[in-house]
Amino acid sequence: MKKALILYWHGLGDIILLTAHLRHLYKKGYKTDLMCLPETRKSRLLEHCPYIGKLIDVDNPWRSEAGLRSALGFKNKTALNIRRFGDLCKSYDWSGVSPHHMAKYKGHHKMDVTSAELKLSLSDKRTEIFIPESAEQKAQKYMGDDYIFVHTTTEFHAYHNWNATKWIEENLPTLRTINTGYGAEFFMAFDDINIAFVLAREAKHRALSSSVFVYACIAMGCEIDALNYGRSDRHMWPMDMSKVLRLREMGKWIR
């Protein structure tokens, strides 16, 4: 197959959106080497993706010391990543960078911004996750009786945090919870994020804030009982909102 290279320094939820582009390239005869954050490799999110050749770690502009100190630090880190991409892409048949210049594409969904920046026209916007049998088996020990899957606190985007305990008590059956949110019992409990995806898929109910689990649940065709956004990030809503039963934005229920 031909070789493609993409520079994409975004989070795990964005990586799930990117799977539509990876599949598009694969069907055109390309396997893609992806320059991505170390978190992508460590999560094992793409470990079993047939469209990927290899993952190449790049600096995280948001979490680097320089990036946290100043906007200039952020720009320096992104410039270094782009320079490295420029050196590598010479040996590829196709290459592209998607920095997510959201202001330039105001009002467009993040997936469509990626398409525009990569200059790819998608006829199929379905997203995918790639759960291996080992993750299915490891998830079994946590299942048992019916449960509610909860992920309403996030590590890096605190504005999306929502204490959903009261809402769950008032609106969902009395069941045990598996909470993978930041600081909760199952936060970062698994070395393979696909184990947590299985637990989300098999749950009786799901209460989520904006996170990778929203995109994973949509990719798996799961209904989301309640979805919370701490700010108006509508360009990040799931492409298929029919699976979202209740929607909360900036502290107010809008659906």
**Cα distance between residue 194 and residue 200, in whole Å:** 10
Are 44 and 156 in the same domain?
Answer: no
Give the pLDDT score at 66: 52
Give the pLDDT score at 238: 92
Are 174 and 231 in the same domain?
Answer: yes
Give the pLDDT score at 253: 97
Yes or no: say if 64 and 113 are a contact pair by the CB < 8 Å rule: no
- Provide the domain limits for residue 32: 2-118
Phi, psi of 13 (to 5 degrees): -65, -40
Are 158 and 114 in the same domain?
Answer: no
DSSP reduced 3-state for 79: helix
Give the pLDDT score at 59: 87
- Please check whether residue 138 lies inside any domain of the structure: yes
Last residue of a domain, one of 60, 83, 118: 118
**Cα distance between residue 186 and residue 178, in whole Å:** 7
Are 102 and 197 in the same domain?
Answer: no
**Cα distance between residue 53 and residue 32, in whole Å:** 5
- Please check whether residue 124 lies inside any domain of the structure: no
Are 148 and 109 in the same domain?
Answer: no
42: domain CATH number is: 3.40.50.2000
Residuewise pLDDT in 10s, the chain (255 residues): 999 999 999 999 999 999 999 999 999 999 999 999 999 999 999 999 999 999 999 988 877 655 455 666 778 888 999 999 999 999 999 999 999 988 899 889 999 999 999 999 999 999 999 999 999 999 999 998 999 999 999 988 899 999 999 999 999 999 999 999 999 999 999 999 999 999 999 999 999 999 999 999 999 999 999 999 999 989 999 988 999 999 999 999 998
Q: Give residue for tokens 């990927």.
A: 52
Are 140 and 244 in the same domain?
Answer: yes
Would you list the DSSP string of 170-200?
A: HHS-S-EEEE-STTSTTTT--SSHHHHHHHH
Give the pLDDT score at 70: 61
- Please check whether residue 123 lies inside any domain of the structure: no
Q: State the DSSP H helix or E strand holding residue 58, giving kind and residue range, or none if neither.
A: none
Yes or no: say if 4 and 95 are a contact pair by the CB < 8 Å rule: yes
Domain count across the chain: 2
DSSP reduced 3-state for 19: helix
Are 66 and 140 in the same domain?
Answer: no
- Please check whether residue 127 lies inside any domain of the structure: no
